[in-house]
Structure 1
Amino acid sequence: MARGQVKATWRKPAGMFAILALILFWVVVVASFSVQIGALPVLVQALVYVVLGIVWIAPLKPLLRWMETGRWRA
Structure 2
Amino acid sequence: MRTEPTWRIPFGVLLLIIALTAYALVIARYVPELIGGWHAAFQTVVYLILGLVWLLPLKRFLLWMESGSSK
Same fold (TM over 0.5): yes
Unaligned runs of 5+ residues in structure 2 are none
Identity score, percent: 34
Greater than 2 Å deviation, 4+ residue runs: none
In the TM superposition, residue 5 of structure 1 has moved relative to its aligned partner by 6.6
TM-score by length of 2: 0.87
Unaligned runs of 5+ residues in structure 1 are none
Q: Could you say which residue in structure 1 is the equivalent of 2:3?
A: 6
Say how many residue pairs are matched: 70
TM-score by length of 1: 0.84
Cα distance in 1, alignment partners of residues 32 and 20 from structure 2: 16
For residues 1-32 of structure 1, the C-alpha deviation after alignment (integer angstroms, 9 at most, x for no partner) is xxx77210000000001110121111012112
Structure with more helix by fraction: 2
